[in-house]
């Protein structure tokens, strides 16, 4: 927060009863912190989400930033909405904080041009309101169901589930009109009166680490709420291999993992519904994506086989069932659909990423990379689609790092070298440091490499080498076990009043992660016979990919030497694909053909993979 001159202004927060005197041109989010209140900045106060949006009620309305325009749209801007992290106020201002959203809720930043065109709103769920008129003249021979359906129900299929059938008497009691909700030839439910105005769907992105539920209005494609949080299966291991390993212990463990994710999905759906004033029963369609293991566990299918050669999924095709059968608490007749998988380690999330980027339909060589606990890479080239996955581990999400944390308030997310050669750290929201997140880790490694504190091999140099000793060297010390570590923030300056450090082990974790990701990309490029300069576009997706500073990522070698202008951040591409399938049946059905087209390249099957992996470990 830089004060221009020492002119001070007052920012007050309506409803909260707090205000602060801050320097002119402070951001609203900084003023809020000063006033002793927190505004959620799920994306790390980078203008990449809507969680911190506020309404400016008085005072001069500053012009919108680019991020404001992308996230808020014209209508909200006109009403005085701004992103608190972007909006710098120049005069006394009164601010209304928008309804708080769940921690880390974020809206997909649709940075590709692929999502907008050609997505026809056709969710497949139909509501028909039928007035009570058709009851006359009373005809004893017809059943209530026939009158309700205005025709013949299928006499020998399962198109009307028992749960729906049981709704008929109550819905029609007293000669009320009735709303019939159907999907294709299948009845979802019967509701009393005219409920055609309520038609919602949920897109679920079940990640190994993060689960996101998007609540969409299926009548107008509007995202009305987004909730996300940590996958509660994490207690059984941060990465996929640990989860599968736990599941392999037996049916009880599979049930445990399933119960955790289903319960959590229900919580997220409930929270999303509550924040939007929507009843769970108004959700009629759920589309879920996730890697193969998460996909299987959500459905309650034992994923053990995915962990054993030949790493075969139990189910690969797109699947459809009643959401209640899967344990999801939405409308009793709602459908749950999962997108198809490609292989044991190339899941529905990857298919969703292709769906949302449409790299299969665009010319030139394109790479899409979803960096999460597992990294999935898809390469499109001359009509071919190649995919592979690599276990990056949780390091880039702050896991298995000494002072690692997720990208949240107080996380060190930017590390540069100052002119004096020392590290300059920035935290998310400029809050006191609580730890280091994935992008901070990448930055720190890049800066320490530049400073000569870390050798290209990854070794932390306790003694400066040939290069002139940078100030950063002063930070190197030994832990009680005699192993080298780098002091990032001293206890006095940290939120937890303890030293925050980067250990040699942390650097090794980062190296393993970046080698896996890079190898996956290189392997596909080799398989397709393309070089770095052939790549027309590199699309970075996923919680981490979106916050990666490109130059540093290249510095440490996570991504190949692709010109910066060819790299694009595409947000949560898997979640976006799920939303597209939720909104558009043709898109959802298209996924099946798409999945069948994707050629799976197994890293383990590649010749010389082990050597190439080892070779990728040095920075």
CB neighbour list of residue 115: distance below 8 Å, 6 or more residues apart: 356, 576, 580
597 near a second copy, rule: CB under 8 A:
no
Crossing angle for the helix pair 573-583 and 348-357, nearest 10 degrees?
80
Q: Identify the CA nearest to 393 among candidates 259, 547, 505, 309.
A: 505
Q: Tell me the closest approach of the beta carbon of residue 280 to a second copy, in angstroms.
A: 20
Question: 612 phi and psi, to 5 degrees?
Answer: -65, -35
Burial profile 258-287: b = 16 or more Cβ within 10 angstroms, e = fewer: bebbbebbbbbbebbbebbebebbbbbbbb
- Phi, psi dihedral angles at 418 (to 5 degrees): -85, 170
Name the one range near a second copy by CB under 8 A: 151-159, 408-416, 468-476, 529-537.
151-159
- Among the listed ranges 215-223, 310-318, 368-376, 609-617, the one in contact with a second copy (CB under 8 A) is 310-318
Q: Which of 67, 89, 97, 305 binds a second copy (CB under 8 A)?
A: 305
Nearest residue (CB) to a second copy, 61 versus 130 = 130
Residue number with CB closer to a second copy (138 or 564) = 138
Which of residues 1 and 130 has its CB atom nearest to a second copy in the complex?
Answer: 130
Contact of 155 with 178, CB cutoff 8 Å: no
Complex with a second copy: residue 168 or 369, whichever CB lies closer: 168
Cite the DSSP H helix spans in 283-368: 292-299, 348-357
Give the C-alpha separation, 474 to 397, whole Å: 28
Among 33, 82, 280, 316, binds a second copy (CB under 8 A): 316
Q: Does 471 bind a second copy (CB under 8 A)?
A: no
Among residues 362, 365, 259, 241, the alpha carbon closest in space to that of 303 is found at 241
Contact between 309 and a second copy by CB under 8 A: the answer reads: yes
Q: How far is the CB of 341 from a second copy (least distance, A)?
A: 8
Least distance (Å) from a second copy to the CB of residue 112? 26
Q: 337: closest CA among 179, 187, 128, 123? A: 123
Integer angstrom CA distances of residue 367 from 401, 516, 530, 562, 568: 28, 16, 11, 11, 10
Q: Does 310 bind a second copy (CB under 8 A)?
A: yes
Answer yes or no whether residue 602 interacts with a second copy by CB under 8 A.
yes
Q: How many residues bind a second copy (CB under 8 A)?
A: 59
User: Between 177 and 216, how does the x/- string for binding to a second copy read (CB under 8 A)?
Assistant: ---------x------------------------------
For a second copy, the closer of residues 347 and 542 by Cβ is 347
Q: Which is nearer to a second copy, 75 or 155 (CB)?
A: 155
Q: Could you tell me the smallest distance in angstroms from the CB atom of residue 595 to a second copy?
A: 9
Give the helix ranges, DSSP H, for 223-382: 240-247, 251-276, 292-299, 348-357
Among 60, 197, 321, 491, contact with a second copy (rule: CB under 8 A):
321
Binding piece for a second copy, criterion CB under 8 A, among 61-69, 230-238, 303-311, 376-384: 303-311
74, 120, 133, 152: residue in contact with a second copy (rule CB under 8 A): 152
Q: Cα-flanking dihedrals φ and ψ of residue 302, to 5°?
A: -60, 120
Among the listed ranges 7-15, 200-208, 301-309, 392-400, the one in contact with a second copy (CB under 8 A) is: 301-309
Pairing of strands 186-192, 222-230: unpaired
541: β partners: 370
**CB of 342 vs a second copy, minimal distance in Å:** 8
Let me know if 311 is exposed, middle or buried by CB neighbors in 10 A (0-12, 13-18, 19+): middle
Which of 486, 548, 600, 616 touches a second copy (CB under 8 A)? Answer: 600
Tokens 């450090």 found at: 501
Report CA dihedral (276, 281, 286, 288) to the nearest 10 degrees. 70
Residue numbers 116-145 binding a second copy by CB under 8 A = 138-145
Nearest to 543 by CA among 370, 391, 410: 370
CA 508 to chain centroid, in Å, comes to 26
Nearer to a second copy, 120 or 463 (CB): 120
Stretch that binds a second copy, among 341-349, 402-410, 527-535, 561-569 (CB under 8 A): 341-349
Residue 606 contacts a second copy per CB under 8 A = no
Euclidean distance between CA atoms 376 and 367, whole angstroms: 10
Q: Which of 74, 120, 158, 608 binds a second copy (CB under 8 A)?
A: 158
Which residue of 229, 237, 270, 300 would you call a contact of a second copy, by CB under 8 A? Answer: 300
User: Quick one: 343 or 431, whose CB is closer to a second copy?
Assistant: 343
> Which residue in the set 96, 163, 224, 550 belongs to the binding site for a second copy (CB under 8 A)?
163
Residue given tokens 């589930």 in the structure block:
161
Residues that bind a second copy (CB under 8 A): 138-146, 152-153, 155-158, 160-163, 165-166, 168-170, 172, 186, 251, 299-305, 309-322, 325-326, 340-344, 589, 592, 600, 602
């Amino acid at each position: 927060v830089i004060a221009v001159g020492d002119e001070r202004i007052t920012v007050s927060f309506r409803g909260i009863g707090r205000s602060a005197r801050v320097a002119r041109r402070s951001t609203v989010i900084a003023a809020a912190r000063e006033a002793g209140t927190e505004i959620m900045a799920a994306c790390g106060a980078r203008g990449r989400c809507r969680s911190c949006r506020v309404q400016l009620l008085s005072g001069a309305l500053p012009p919108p930033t680019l991020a404001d325009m992308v996230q808020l749209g014209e209508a909200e801007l006109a009403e005085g909405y701004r992103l608190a992290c972007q909006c710098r106020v120049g005069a006394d201002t009164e601010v209304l904080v928008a309804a708080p959203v769940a921690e880390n809720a974020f809206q997909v930043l649709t940075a590709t041009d692929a999502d907008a065109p050609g997505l026809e709103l056709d969710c497949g769920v139909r509501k028909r309101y039928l007035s009570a008129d058709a009851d006359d003249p009373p005809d004893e021979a017809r059943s209530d169901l026939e009158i309700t359906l205005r025709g013949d129900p299928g006499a020998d299929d399962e198109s009307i589930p028992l749960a729906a059938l049981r709704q008929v008497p109550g819905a029609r009691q007293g000669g009320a009109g009735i709303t019939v909700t159907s999907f294709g030839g299948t009845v979802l439910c019967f509701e009393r009166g005219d409920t055609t105005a309520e038609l919602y769907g949920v897109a679920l992105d079940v990640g190994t680490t993060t689960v996101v539920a998007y609540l969409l209005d299926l009548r107008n494609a509007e995202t009305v709420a987004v909730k996300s949080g940590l996958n509660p299966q994490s207690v059984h291991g941060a990465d996929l291999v640990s989860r599968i390993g736990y599941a392999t212990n037996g049916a009880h463990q599979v049930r445990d993992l399933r119960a955790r994710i289903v319960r959590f999905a229900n919580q997220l759906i409930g929270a999303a519904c509550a924040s939007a004033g929507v009843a769970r029963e108004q959700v009629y369609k759920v589309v879920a994506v996730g890697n193969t293991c998460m996909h299987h566990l959500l459905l309650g299918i034992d994923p053990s086989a995915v962990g054993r050669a030949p790493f075969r999924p139990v189910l690969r095709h797109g699947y459809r069932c009643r959401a209640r059968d899967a344990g999801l608490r939405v409308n009793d007749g709602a459908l749950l659909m999962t997108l198809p998988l490609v292989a044991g380690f190339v899941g529905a999330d990857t298919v969703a990423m292709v769906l949302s980027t449409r790299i299969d339909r665009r010319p030139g060589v394109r790479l899409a990379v979803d960096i999460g606990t597992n990294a999935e890479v898809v390469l499109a080239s001359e009509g071919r689609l190649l995919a592979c996955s690599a276990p990056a581990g949780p390091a880039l999400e702050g896991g298995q790092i000494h002072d690692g944390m997720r990208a949240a308030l107080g996380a060190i997310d930017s590390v540069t070298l100052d002119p004096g050669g020392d590290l300059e750290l920035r935290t998310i929201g400029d809050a006191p440091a609580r730890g280091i997140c994935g992008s901070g880790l990448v930055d720190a490694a890049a800066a320490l490499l530049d400073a000569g504190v870390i050798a290209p091999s990854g070794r932390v140099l306790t003694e400066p080498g040939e290069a002139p000793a940078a100030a950063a060297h002063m930070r190197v010390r030994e832990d009680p076990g005699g192993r080298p570590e780098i002091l990032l923030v001293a206890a006095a300056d940290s939120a937890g009043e303890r030293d925050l450090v980067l250990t040699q082990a942390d650097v090794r974790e980062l190296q393993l992660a970046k080698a896996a990701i890079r190898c996956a990309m290189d392997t596909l490029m080799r398989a397709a016979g393309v070089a770095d300069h052939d790549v027309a576009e590199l699309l970075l997706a996923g919680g981490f990919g979106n916050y990666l500073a490109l130059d540093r990522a290249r510095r440490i070698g996570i991504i190949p030497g692709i010109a910066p202008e060819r790299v694009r951040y595409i947000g949560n591409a898997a979640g976006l694909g799920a939303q597209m399938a939720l909104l558009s049946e043709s898109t959802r059905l298209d996924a099946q053909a798409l999945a069948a087209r994707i050629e799976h390249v197994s890293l383990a099957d590649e010749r010389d993979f082990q050597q190439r992996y080892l070779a990728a470990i040095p920075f």
